[in-house]
Amino acid sequence: MSVENEDEEKIIWHFFYPLWPDMGSLNSQNVKSVLTLMDLSRSKNVEEENPRVVHCSAGVGRTGTFVALEFLMGELQGGAWEGWDQSEEKGNDAIFETVDQLRQQRKTMVQAVEQYIFLYEVLRKQWEEKYRLPCFGGEHTHDSPPEEGKNPVFRAIPENK
C-alpha cells in the first residue's frame, strides 16, 4: 500500500474468514482451517513494525475468541502448560484469566457462551495432541460442547465488565 506524499510503502495482508458465524463458534470440521489461518497470519506479520489487526463485525466476539486462542496456543506451544496437573491447580485457569484480561481492555471480548466453550474444547484437544494423551473420558468428547457441571474444566463465564 502506498500513501500519497509518503516515501514509505507497506505490505498489507488481508485475510477474510467467512465460515465463523457471528455470535457463534466454529464447527469441528473448521477448527483446523482457523488454526491454519492463525499460522498464516502470524507468518505474514513477524516484523514488529508490521502489527496484526484482527476484527469481526463488532470487534468483540470472534475477535476476542481469535485473540484469546492465538495467545493461549502460543502458551501451549511454548511449554507453559508442560507437566500441568489439574489436581495441583487451585483456582488457576489460564483460559478464564486470559478472557478476563481481554475484557479489562474491551468489555465483551469472547461474547457468546459457545465461543468461551470453544476455547476450552480446542485447547484441550491441542493439549492432548501435543502431549499425546488420550482424550478425556477415552473418547473425543471435544467434538460436542460440554454441558455445565459435566466438564471438569468448564468454569462459569466472568461477567462482562
Q: One of 35, 37, 54, 56 is an active-site residue; which one?
A: 56
Q: Between the CA atoms of 137, 139, 141 and 142, what dihedral angle is there, to the nearest 10 degrees?
A: 120
pTM: 0.75
Count of alpha carbons within 13 angstroms of residue 94, beta-carbon side: 19
Long-range CB contacts (within 8 A, 24+) of 127-133 = 127/76, 127/81, 127/84, 130/76, 130/77, 131/82
pLDDT at 131: 82
Asked if residue 4 is part of any domain, the answer here is no
Asked if residue 5 is part of any domain, the answer here is no
Q: Give catalytic status of residue 56 as yes or no.
A: yes
**Closest C-alpha among 128, 129, 127, 99 to residue 113:** 99
| Mean pLDDT across 67-83 | 90
Asked if residue 21 is part of any domain, the answer here is no
Count how many domains the chain has. Answer: 1
pLDDT at 97: 93
The single residue listed with the C-alpha cell 507497506 is: 10
pLDDT at 98: 95
Where residue 155 falls among pLDDT bands split at 50, 70, 90?
Answer: very low
pLDDT at 149: 44
pLDDT at 52: 84
**CATH number for 137:** 3.90.190.10
Asked if residue 70 is part of any domain, the answer here is yes
pLDDT at 26 over 80: yes
Asked if residue 13 is part of any domain, the answer here is no
Continuous segment of H or E residues that includes residue 121: helix 113-130
| Mean pLDDT across 91-98 | 86
Q: Which domain holds residue 117?
A: 28-42+53-79+90-143
Asked if residue 85 is part of any domain, the answer here is no
Asked if residue 35 is part of any domain, the answer here is yes
pLDDT at 61 over 50: yes
Long-range CB contacts (within 8 A, 24+) of 48-57 = 50/10, 50/11, 56/20, 56/22, 57/22
pLDDT tens readout for residues 95-149: 999 999 999 999 999 998 999 999 999 998 998 888 877 665 555 444 444 444 4
Asked if residue 156 is part of any domain, the answer here is no
Mean pLDDT, the chain, rounded, equals 79
The single residue listed with the C-alpha cell 513494525 is: 49
